[in-house]
């Protein structure tokens, strides 16, 4: 599972594809074991190879089992965790931390409830509602994927209802519509990705004064369809990176001088 995601990212980098490919790639990498997990016939052997994605709901990161498993609990899906993951890592708008002593999701009177029915407990709690209205609709739109990323149409014997309204008023009814809503504002995802790349390049977290640089990189990259190289070049040419590189060079030169003395 993990290697599938790594290989998708590698293909974006090595083939200089648009950063948006991470969300809407019409190809992925599978071996026989992963193909069986996804219910895809005709793939044999242990080696992962590039294959076309025929099911719309499997396109991009949000259809990959690695992400879907990472954002689930051991025995069930977690719309909250999935929603938080998308808000934080895709949209760059992490929700605030939960209040203390949040009660667990409980079954009522021994009745088997769907995840949507269980989530209503938290939405009904005014203390929890503000954050859950941000996370839950995103996570519930991914409920067609079980805890290990297999596609399903029922939960607890009942049909899955993935319809909901996101925090911005957009309607979703499953993973495809969620992806389309995200891609309708591509700069938001690319900005989040740029922040992560710049953080990695600098070796430290970003500050408020770094944000204009991030926005400038994203604006320039838009004219190049957000190609990965345009983001990297924007970062390398940016003032924060140049200052970091100059500082490193000065430290390195000073260290060499001390050794020579």
Please check the confidence at residue 121 and state whether its pLDDT lies above 90.
no
Rounded Cα–Cα distance for residues 146 and 244 (Å): 44
> What 8-state DSSP symbol labels residue 99?
P
pLDDT bucket at 108, cuts 50 / 70 / 90: very low
> What is the reported pTM?
0.88
Would you list the DSSP string of 46-81? SS-EEEE--SGGGSSGGG-HHHHHHTB-SSSB-HHH
- Burial label, 239 (beta-carbon count in 10 A; 0-12, 13-18, 19+): exposed
Please check the confidence at residue 254 and state whether its pLDDT lies above 70.
no
Q: Is 115 left (phi over 0), alpha (psi -120 to 50) or beta?
A: alpha
């Amino acid at each position: 599972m993990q290697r599938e995601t790594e290989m998708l990212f590698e293909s974006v980098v090595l083939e200089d594809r648009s950063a948006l490919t991470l969300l809407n790639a019409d190809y992925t990498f599978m071996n026989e074991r992963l193909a069986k997990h996804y219910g895809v016939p005709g793939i044999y052997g242990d080696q992962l190879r590039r294959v076309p994605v025929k099911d719309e709901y499997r396109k991009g990161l949000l259809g990959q089992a690695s992400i879907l498993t990472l954002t689930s609990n051991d025995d069930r899906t977690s719309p909250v965790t999935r929603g938080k993951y998308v808000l934080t890592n895709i949209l760059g708008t992490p929700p605030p931390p939960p209040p203390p002593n949040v009660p667990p999701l409980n079954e009522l009177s021994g009745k088997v409830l769907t995840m949507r029915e269980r989530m209503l407990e938290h939405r009904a709690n005014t203390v929890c509602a503000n954050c859950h209205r941000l996370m839950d609709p995103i996570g519930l739109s991914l409920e067609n994927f079980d805890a290990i990323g297999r596609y399903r149409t029922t939960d607890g014997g009942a049909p899955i209802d993935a319809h909901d309204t996101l925090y911005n008023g957009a309607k979703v009814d499953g993973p495809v519509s969620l992806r389309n809503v995200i891609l309708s504002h591509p700069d938001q995802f690319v900005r989040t990705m740029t922040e992560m790349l710049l953080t990695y390049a600098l070796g430290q977290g970003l500050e408020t004064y770094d944000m204009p640089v991030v926005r400038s990189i994203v604006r320039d990259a838009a004219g190049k369809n957000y190609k990965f190289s345009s983001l990297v070049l924007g970062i390398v040419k940016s003032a924060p990176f140049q200052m970091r590189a100059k500082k490193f060079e000065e430290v390195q030169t000073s260290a060499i001088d001390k050794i020579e003395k």
